[in-house]
Structure 1
Amino acid sequence: MVPAADRVKKPGPSSVWLAEKTPRGGGATRGGAGGAGGADGGGKDGRGSHHAGPRDDDGAGSADGSGRGADRPAAGRGRRAADADRGADAGLDRDRITATTVALLDADGLAKFSMRRLAAELHVTAMSVYWYVANKDDLLELAVDHVAAELDLPDPEDDTDWRVQLRQLAHGYREMLVRHPWAAPLMGRFLNIGPCMRAFSDAALRLMRKTGVPKERQGGTMAAVFQFVYGFATSEAQYYQLAAEAGVTADEFYREAMGVIAGELAGSQLLRDSTEVMEARGGDTVAEMYGRDFDNALDVLIRGIEATSGDRAGDAGA
């Protein structure tokens, strides 16, 4: 018989935004507003119950370690109430908890994040945090929605050319994912149905309608654009992380890597072809190179949208 701690629960669609929204403790509610999300529809499943949190920071009380665990025993209610009182004394609320989570994720990364580390940063007990958020997974989902609020979404009443608006939204999405490299993997883990994520998806859908692309192709067109942005930004963010872990700047890392590659491929056709492409692209820094590649790729996608929709009104926003 498989021990209970080693059993894996069958994944199922779940989200902090689907959890109960009744007040808990000092007026705190489950399911409050947060950040933004995935216009590409990325997002898989959550796991387990949303009505109580784990008994430690890494998912204890959850069969699969996901952090969505079984209900806490009734015997602990008195202590939870005391912890909630201490949290209230510390000025604790879910907005502050989420904002602090984002700051820790930005500083230390997803792998080093824990509920105990968060509680220490807030100067409260971990149980105080659990009064406002059920578990670690729910908190990470709130953090994703929180950073999505940074996106500058086009005004539905604005009649600016769709090309301009699409470029602006794509650039904003890329910049947000690079600023918060932990967000991309989490977007592939949750349903992404928080208010800011929904607003992002709604804005993307409105843009697809403005392009004139037939309805049956709008979903695929949206995926082509925003899944490209998601992948590009994820790769870019990982590059910057590699450089930081090596203790060098992005440009220093690039020069060192190119030196190694040039040595390995010396005299090869691949090296000659690659050098020609990079020289034609230009860019004095890694940031400029990424920027030019992104703009060129986005232009290709927009040209494809124009060809599909029959809207070839020019080079607006180029």
Structure 2
Amino acid sequence: MVKAGERSARSSVWLEGKARRGGRGGGQPSGLDRERITEVTVRLLDAEGLARFSMRRLAAELNVTAMSVYWYVDTKDDLLELALDAAFGELRLPDAGDGGQEWREQVRALATEYRHLLVRHPWLSPLAGRYLNIGPNSLAFSRVVQRVIRRTGLPTHRVTGAISAVVRFVYGYGTIEGHFLARVADAGVSPDDYFRQAMSAVSEAPETAAVIQESKEIIAARGGDTVAEMMDRDFTFALDLLVAGIEAMVARG
């Protein structure tokens, strides 16, 4: 039995027929529709973050009462699910059946798109772990990823492992990068200034100086004049390692 306030394994705006509903019946507030409410929700989440988001705050942004918003969605969870899938709709997905593009290029393209989405919307990663991710845009992403990985030549029983390696790597990388940039924005400095200040602080602190000293050679060899360049180089090389690993497993048969 599901307790009040809890969500069962089947709880989803996409499973309960509510995602297709435009309102609860006649007399709904004029000037509103679910698409507009979802669009403003995404904008608020981008601007203020998940922790500060509330139905009351959304209603104020829409210049309506909170009850007007509830005419179109039953719960805050339903609305967040809609916003999550709307964000996935921004992904530019390759044609997984396109024989003219190698699977390696498609893996890199999908990984890069997903990384940018996570960085652009830092609130997305916690929601992706909270809900079932079965909205139409999320399913379209999952379907393309599956089709691309199947094109690698891996045996069927290895496909889910390869999907996990790529998608969860990007999820982790994009989440940490997005949180870093949010922290930088809160500090009111550039990413490069923040990085320099942080490295200076940890290099001088007795608790962390030894570890930083041991890492100097690695950090110097990393390359890149800016934080953005360092992050891009690390991401690209890590993704190359994953692609090479898939190739090696295919060769093993």
Fold match by TM threshold 0.5: yes
Q: Give the superposition deviation at 1:272.
A: 3.8
Q: Whose RCO is larger (CA < 8 A, sep 6+)? A: 1
Q: Residues 107 and 148 of structure 2 are in contact (CA less than 8 Å); yes or no, is this contact kept in structure 1?
A: yes
**1:16 and 2:26 are equivalent in the alignment:** no
Name the TM-score, length of structure 1 as normaliser: 0.73
Correspondences of 1:233-252 after superposition (within 5 Å): 233-252=174-193
Deviation of the 1:156 alpha carbon = 3.0
Q: 1:288 aligns with which of 221, 229, 237?
A: 229
* Separation in structure 1 between the aligned mates of residue 144 and residue 20 of structure 2, nearest angstrom: 31
Q: Which runs of 5+ in 1 are unaligned?
A: 1-5, 31-79, 312-318
Structure with greater helix percent: 2
Aligned-residue RMSD, C-alpha: 2.3
- Counterpart residue number, 1:256: 197
Taking every aligned residue pair, what percent have the same amino acid on both sides?
53
The structure having more radius of gyration, on CA atoms, is 1
Question: Do the aligned partners of residues 10 and 183 (structure 1) sit closer, same or farther apart at CA in structure 2, a change above 3 Å counting?
Answer: closer
The equivalent residue for 2:66 is 126
| Structure 1 residue 97: Cα displacement | 0.4
How far residue 11 of structure 1 moved from its aligned partner, in angstroms, is: 4.1
**In structure 2, how many angstroms separate the alpha carbons of the residues matched to 1:131 and 1:8?**
20
Q: Match of 1:18, as an amino acid?
A: L
Secondary structure at the aligned position of 2:93 is classed as coil
Relative to structure 1, the CA distance from residue 200 to residue 276 in structure 2 (aligned partners, 3 Å threshold; closer, same or farther) is: same
Query: Is contact 2:203–2:209 with CA below 8 Å preserved after alignment?
Result: no
1:93 pairs, out of 15, 33, 36, with 33
Tell me the residue number matched to 2:43. Answer: 103
Are 1:166 and 1:207, in contact at CA under 8 Å, matched by a contact in 2? yes
Partner of 1:155: 95
Query: CA shift at 1:284, angstroms?
Result: 1.1
Residues 309, 22 of structure 1: CA spacing in aligned structure 2 closer, same or farther, 3 A cutoff? closer
Q: 2:149·2:162 contact (CA, 8 Å) conserved in 1?
A: yes
1:139 alignment partner in structure 2 = 79
Q: CA deviation at 1:157?
A: 3.2
> Which one is further off, 242-251 or 204-213?
242-251
SS of 1:158's equivalent? Answer: coil
Q: Who is 2:52 aligned against? A: 112
The amino acid across from 2:49 in the alignment is G
Give the C-alpha shift of residue 271 in structure 1. Answer: 2.9
Match of 2:111 among 149, 170, 174: 170
Distance 1:128 1:204 in 2: 38
Measured after TM superposition, the shift of residue 10 of structure 1 is 6.9
Question: Matched residues in 2 for 1:254 and 1:112: separation?
Answer: 27
**Amino acid paired to 1:136:** K
Equivalent residues of 2:93, 2:144 under 8 A apart: yes
1:211 partner SS = coil
Q: What residue ranges of structure 2 are gaps of 5+ in the alignment?
A: none
